[in-house]
Amino acid sequence: MNVHISPAIIMRIKEFGESDLLVTFFTSDSGRLKGIAKGGRKSQKRFANCLDLFCLANLEYELKRKGDLHFLHSCKLFHAFPGLRSDFTSLSLASYMIELTEILFPLGVTDKEMFELLKNAFLALNEGGKTDILRILFEAKAMALGGYKINLDKCCGCGRLYAGEGMAVFKRSKGGIACLKCEQESELSPALSMDSVKALKIIQSTPWSQAKASDLNNEMIREIKPVLKLHMEYRIGRRLKTAEYLD
């Protein structure tokens, strides 16, 4: 019997049969998985208070012989993140983070950094962090981990290195910034100040603790938010369903 024990974040839960649950969960060592919790709707011993949306739990699971479903044997709750359900905005942002993770990381794709990002974002949101800042931090870091990092080092037109001075313009088709000689500011090519470029670069490339410490003011939030929106929709090819509850 090939049994695994791993920390996991519960992403989705669906009733299955009379007493079972179909659970989607994200692990640190095996990525996103799906499993059947036999008797999960009734068991107060094996699955006590831990098979709830957004919970962080230690899961014991076994791979079935055929298919990609797992058998969930038991779990132990680490953190329920009650603050994520305290208001509609926090609940919507947590759901948004789950949806973006699912898009960027298909079933079975392992990324420990993404697991840590999702866990740390939930912790910050649970502690009452500002949702507009947490959204920017999560979007920028998740897209970078998923292979869609915005190029902030040089102009995507002429190739001139960005020296950290003056305005830059985001060009969505290139996934990077351009100088004002190569691109003009428009609705589809929003401008970024040097402070916003610097902050976005730090967020994309540093650990969560450093990215979280980024001193994002209202002007920087106003500039970075549309850039990430355009970047995500262009690279993913669609707008996230949960985004309508946040915008």
Q: What averages of pLDDT result for each successive group of 10 residues across the chain (247 residues)?
A: 86 85 91 85 68 91 76 89 92 97 91 95 94 96 96 94 91 95 93 96 92 89 96 94 88
Domain 85-150+183-245 has CATH 1.20.1440: yes
Taking the domains of the chain in order of start, what are their residue ranges? Answer: 3-80, 85-150+183-245
Q: Calculate helix-pair angle for 131-145, 88-104, nearest 10 degrees.
A: 10
What is the pLDDT, as a whole number, of residue 67? Answer: 67
Q: How many CB atoms lie within 10 A of CB 220?
A: 21
Question: What are the two backbone dihedrals, phi and then psi, of residue 202, each rounded to the nearest 5 degrees?
Answer: -65, -45
CA distances from 24 to 55, 131, 136, 148, 244 (A): 12, 25, 25, 24, 23
CATH 2.40.50.1020 given to domain 3-80: no
- Enter the pTM of the model: 0.92
pLDDT at res. 79? 93
Q: Is 90 helix (H, G, I), strand (E, B) or coil?
A: helix
Predicted pLDDT at 177? 97
Provide the angle, in degrees to the nearest 10, between the axes of the packed helices 131-145 and 112-126: 180
Q: What is the signed CA dihedral for 33, 37, 40, 43, rounded to 10 degrees?
A: -120
Residue 67, sorted as left (phi over 0), alpha (psi -120 to 50) or beta, turns out to be: left
* Whole-number pLDDT of residue 16: 79
